[in-house]
Structure 1
């Protein structure tokens, strides 16, 4: 049987004036029977790019691109056979450079790579765009999934929220992913996490895994993931230790998984729908939040620092989101009636994040009913975010809800604004939601105060030439040569580029940022990147419709 090979490619454009190469974009193409055997260099159909191809030992053509100094080199990358077929090589396989000041397709390509850096488990025979990422935590039960950030803890709630965001954007902005040549790659990315979420649930014992790993032990060691020797405890919700918020988001992710995969893989889709309904029933039957293991000491401290005004986290918003997506997956309206009558809250949302999904619940109700009271709740949320006083905006325009990873809340709101705009909430208080979203993303890609001359600074690693080199990420800080120690010195760049990682952002409203391996401003996480991918797909979707709004970033980079 044929194996499916995919190259997520780096292409070098040759500058006509200098003859020097400059990296431009990732693409995904290629089928192969067996391992690569021969390197070939050739020009692209339009003659503007040098391509690096690798011949297969059989007849099919495989392509991989990791060109340096005009020499072909590379490595094979394999996707599981369940992954949908990739497009065949050709002129349309290439990501086109945007005619706008920001290349959103390129940024989307980069961002998707990050989740491959977060993969845990057996990576043999899988798509590996980052060759320094290898198999790890093989004895975990459940095995697989994503590490949330720069450590090696697996949080089910963060993973589930990330997948909900990815899949929601695939449903609403499919054409954006397709235009960038990334729909099959984002599908493969989401499937990895969905497989893990399925393994987290045991219907017979009524247990749901909510966390794998020990935060204190994990953070006491700085090492490669494959070299971990710390204990990996597994924390589970059950009929006596409840975690309805985790159950809600997990059910929502699997219900969305059914919607996205039903046509391409009915068996996989049906398994997700069955589990989604079971987990939802579990979460609504045994209601509660088990803070001691669900969030861990890390997240409790994080919440105290990040969200001091939000009060106690609840679970109704997560169960609400789950109920709406289950209604759509099953066409059983009783799910929505429960969401509307039991879980809905008209309270104004403070943020949109992993454990704060009130505004998502409100937006989904607006989509379902078209009733103005739900629309007003969504508008109340965005009214604050657009005004610039609560939350504050930085001098260059980033929405600054918290000094701890401020980009997280800004990019989450940007994605939601794009969805709301498509749902007919195009403006709030006279301010355009699409414009707000694009300006927030523009800030992250370079329209900010961090620059050297005309060299824009991107908070998205690997986008442009000026970006963070020292994100807080253990695996990226370790040399590929395993005989060398991992780097903990803040003055040295990470030896491996964490392509696509979106760091926390500036330290205060004056837009100050220092590239060093400290935690709060330089952390990366699977949920932040999921929102960035979703927002970028939405912007590319607008571009394909020729509907990009006029923007007015305060610190526009040339």
Structure 2
């Protein structure tokens, strides 16, 4: 009875912090829309079951000039370039969402669509990995692409492809692609074991390549530097990939006595242990997690590894990883040292985590996911979090904060605007996105030229003719302000890596909200957000 009473108090406290209309947020609808978004970003020949009908085939000659098939994959944002590093991170985060919340996604009826979204990316990575030490990492040129405002179906800009190899290394993108394929191999292990094995094989080769031939990818591919520069370097990606490969080979090792499998299982774990300090895994205290900076993510993965069977040295290093992981969590919760604001993530007056003016929502969604995962871990292991400004923080409190961020995204904010496009009664209408802002190709069959798109479509004050359902835009400024204009790309452009972490978060809250119901004042059933 005491546990139920405690749970009820938590529920009432959560509901009381929101306007009444926001107490009925439909996380299931948000989940469905977030997965649908990836169909809008597809490149290549679209399948018969494509649900977003205003998109059509595009990029069908990608790689032809270089003699390789690079048709497929995803456009990263509102442009028409395929950038390998953010694409791979997107697939890693989608895969992690399914690994962590598979049952919840399945219960919402979205598992098939989530697997399709992942496979659209991994199929492309298999094509792009043409040799153990060759990975094609970019198609298109950002500079020429940004001079044009064209639907992907009309592209006249350069589709030159770029690769990393032994002479032109790219450890970040090789390792992140390895992480994506390793994580996806776990996702498909039960439903498609042959495909899972293929992904793991590619992941191992890519990791070996990225580790053996070390070098920054933006030094080898100049075109990536202006758009996705590697600020953190490649050491975080190598540790991140090693941990994902450890988890992937761990899954295989549990049911496999093959000595080769067991060798790699221990190899990847030892890699993360032996390089923990020199690569910054146990020394960097980070307050952000993104397509570039992976430290917080890999620290949280390491923090959740079991200590049983580990040596004393290994346990100590894993505890050091955990210390840095919990620094990140406490930073998001505003519970690090209050005398030094730099140790906590800033917040807007409306309570949103705020890291940068440009596309801030990417940091919010990734933080929400990591905190959700760690909250689950603490709850399942009956542990608590210790932060400098509070003796202990329970999993309930962490999840309560995540809910505040998810609800802000979905409309519980000073603007009363959902930043997930297509969700709720009010959301951005002028998303900075070429395909969404031009009439559908299937309806007009009229070619839109490079400058014609800018003249006739980009500058229009009218809402986009196509709703970019499920896209998480860059979001408000530090004062909760938002200007809905295509020219305001810092706030209105959406990216695949913004939405990907939300798949897991929305699945979690949809499951909680539909797990039970309670009666308040005899007024009827109210969705229960249960933390038990």
Q: TM range, normalised to the smaller chain?
A: 0.7 to 0.9
Q: Are the counterparts in 2 of residues 152 and 225 from structure 1 also a CA contact under 8 Å?
A: yes
Superposed displacement of residue 436, structure 1: 1.6
2:136 matched to which residue of 1?
Answer: 209
Post-superposition Cα deviations, 1:27-62, rounded to whole Å, max 9, x if no partner, equal: xxxxxxxxxxxxxxxxxxxxxxxxxxxxxxxxxxxx
Q: Are the counterparts in 1 of residues 79 and 434 from structure 2 also a CA contact under 8 Å?
A: yes
Post-superposition Cα deviations, 1:533-552, rounded to whole Å, max 9, x if no partner, equal: 222123234445668369xx
Partner Cα separation in structure 1 for residue 74 and residue 432 of structure 2: 16
2:421 matched to which residue of 1?
Answer: 461
Q: Higher helix proportion, which one?
A: 2
Partner Cα separation in structure 2 for residue 515 and residue 437 of structure 1: 26
Q: Are the counterparts in 1 of residues 137 and 173 from structure 2 also a CA contact under 8 Å?
A: yes
Superposed displacement of residue 364, structure 1: 1.2
Note closer, same or farther for the CA distance 1:291–1:186 as it changes in structure 2 (3 Å cut).
same
Superposed displacement of residue 116, structure 1: 0.1
Superposed displacement of residue 269, structure 1: 1.4
Q: Which moved more, 1:224-233 or 1:423-432?
A: 423-432
Q: Are the counterparts in 1 of residues 422 and 467 from structure 2 also a CA contact under 8 Å?
A: yes
Matched, 1:127 2:49: yes
Residue from 115, 119, 123 that aligns with 1:195? 123
Note closer, same or farther for the CA distance 1:284–1:233 as it changes in structure 2 (3 Å cut).
same
Partner Cα separation in structure 2 for residue 360 and residue 490 of structure 1: 40
Residue from 350, 357, 364 that aligns with 2:294? 357
The 5-angstrom pairing of residues 154-303 of structure 1 reads 154-203=82-131, 206-292=133-219, 294=221, 296=223, 300=226
Matched, 1:444 2:414: no
Q: 5+ unaligned residues in a row in structure 2: which ranges? A: 1-20, 64-69, 251-264, 308-317, 336-340, 517-527
Partner Cα separation in structure 2 for residue 294 and residue 399 of structure 1: 33
1:68 matched to which residue of 2?
Answer: none
Partner Cα separation in structure 2 for residue 530 and residue 137 of structure 1: 23
Q: Specify the SS of the correspondent of 1:498.
A: coil
Post-superposition Cα deviations, 1:350-374, rounded to whole Å, max 9, x if no partner, equal: 3100011101111111122444333
Partner Cα separation in structure 2 for residue 199 and residue 152 of structure 1: 19
Q: Are the counterparts in 1 of residues 287 and 331 from structure 2 also a CA contact under 8 Å?
A: no
1:473 matched to which residue of 2?
Answer: 433
Superposed displacement of residue 294, structure 1: 4.7
Partner Cα separation in structure 2 for residue 235 and residue 534 of structure 1: 32
Matched, 1:334 2:281: no
Q: Specify the SS of the correspondent of 1:173.
A: helix
Superposed displacement of residue 301, structure 1: 6.0
Partner Cα separation in structure 1 for residue 529 and residue 222 of structure 2: 39
Superposed displacement of residue 248, structure 1: 1.1
Q: Specify the SS of the correspondent of 2:138.
A: strand
Q: Which protein has greater RCO, CA pairs closer than 8 Å, 6+ apart?
A: 2
The 5-angstrom pairing of residues 473-552 of structure 1 reads 473-480=433-440, 481-483=444-446, 486=453, 487-506=457-476, 508-518=477-487, 519-543=489-513, 548=529
Residue from 401, 406, 409 that aligns with 2:360? 406
Q: Are the counterparts in 2 of residues 179 and 540 from structure 1 also a CA contact under 8 Å?
A: no
2:16 matched to which residue of 1?
Answer: none
Q: Specify the SS of the correspondent of 1:520.
A: helix
CA RMSD, Structure 1 to Structure 2 (Å): 2.2
Q: Are the counterparts in 2 of residues 470 and 490 from structure 1 also a CA contact under 8 Å?
A: no
Q: 5+ unaligned residues in a row in structure 1: which ranges? A: 1-97, 304-310, 452-456, 551-558
Q: Number of residues paired by the alignment?
A: 437
1:118 matched to which residue of 2?
Answer: 41
Partner Cα separation in structure 2 for residue 483 and residue 296 of structure 1: 31
Q: Specify the SS of the correspondent of 1:202.
A: coil
2:8 matched to which residue of 1?
Answer: none
Partner Cα separation in structure 1 for residue 57 and residue 431 of structure 2: 21
Q: Specify the SS of the correspondent of 2:162.
A: strand
> TM-score, normalised to structure 2's length?
0.78
Q: Specify the SS of the correspondent of 1:387.
A: coil
Matched, 1:137 2:84: no
Superposed displacement of residue 100, structure 1: 4.8
Partner Cα separation in structure 1 for residue 42 and residue 222 of structure 2: 21
Q: Specify the SS of the correspondent of 2:349.
A: coil
Q: Which moved more, 1:342-351 or 1:376-385?
A: 342-351
Superposed displacement of residue 319, structure 1: 1.4
Q: Specify the SS of the correspondent of 2:289.
A: coil
Q: Are the counterparts in 2 of residues 434 and 549 from structure 1 also a CA contact under 8 Å?
A: no
Q: Are the counterparts in 2 of residues 426 and 433 from structure 1 also a CA contact under 8 Å?
A: no
1:395 matched to which residue of 2?
Answer: 349
Superposed displacement of residue 292, structure 1: 4.1
Partner Cα separation in structure 2 for residue 264 and residue 295 of structure 1: 40
Q: Are the counterparts in 2 of residues 153 and 215 from structure 1 also a CA contact under 8 Å?
A: yes
> TM-score, normalised to structure 1's length?
0.75
Superposed displacement of residue 295, structure 1: 7.3
Partner Cα separation in structure 2 for residue 286 and residue 350 of structure 1: 29
Partner Cα separation in structure 2 for residue 373 and residue 445 of structure 1: 36
Note closer, same or farther for the CA distance 1:409–1:490 as it changes in structure 2 (3 Å cut).
farther
Q: Specify the SS of the correspondent of 1:517.
A: coil
Q: Which moved more, 1:219-228 or 1:335-344?
A: 335-344
Q: Are the counterparts in 1 of residues 91 and 118 from structure 2 also a CA contact under 8 Å?
A: yes
1:384 matched to which residue of 2?
Answer: 331
